Amino acid sequence: MTTPVNVTVTGAAGQIGYALLFRIASGAMLGPDTPVRLRLLEIPQAVKAAEGTAMELDDCAFPLLDGVDIHDDPARGFEGTNVALLVGARPRGPGMERADLLEANGGIFGPQGRAINDHAADDVRVLVVGNPANTNALIAASHAPDVGKDRFTAMTRLDHNRALSQAAARAGVPVSQVKRLTIWGNHSASQYPDLFHAEVGGRPGAALAVDRAWLTEDFVPTVAKRGAAIIDARGASSAASAANAAIDHVRDWVLGTPEGDWTSAGLWSTGAYGVPEGLVSSFPVTSSGGAWDVVDGLEVDDFSRARIDASVAELVEEREAVRALGLI
List, as residue ranges, the binding site: 11-17, 92, 98, 105, 112, 129-131, 162
15-34 binders of ligand NAI (CB under 6 A):
15-17
**Host H or E run for residue 141:** helix 133-142
- Order of strands, sheet of 291-294, starting from the edge strand that comes earlier in the sequence: 65-71, 36-41, 5-10, 83-86, 125-128, 152-154, 263-268, 280-288, 291-294
Distance CA 310, CA 308 (A): 5
The residue number with the shortest CB distance to ligand NAI is 14
The string of DSSP codes covering 168-215 is HHHHTS-GGGEES-EEEB-SSTT-EEE-TT-EETTEEHHHHHT-HHHI
CA 17, distance to chain mean position in Å, is: 14
Binding range to ligand NAI, per CB under 6 A, among 8-16, 178-186, 250-258, 289-297: 8-16
111-150 binders of ligand NAI (CB under 6 A):
129-131, 133
Shortest reach from residue 211's CB to ligand NAI, in Å: 27
* Residue 188 or 208 having the CB closest to ligand NAI: 188
* Residue 10 or 300 having the CB closest to ligand NAI: 10
226-245 binders of ligand NAI (CB under 6 A):
237-239, 242
List the catalytic residues: 187
Query: Residues 185-224 vs ligand NAI: string with x where CB under 6 A?
Result: --x-------------------------------------
State the helix-helix crossing angle for 302-324 and 98-119, rounded to 10 degrees. 80
Judged by phi (left if over 0) then psi (alpha if -120 to 50, else beta), residue 216 lies in alpha
Binding ligand NAI (rule: CB under 6 A), the pick from 9, 36, 46, 124 is: 46
The residue ranges that bind ligand NAI (CB under 6 A) are 10-11, 13-17, 41-43, 46, 87-89, 91, 108, 129-131, 133, 155, 158, 187, 237-239, 242
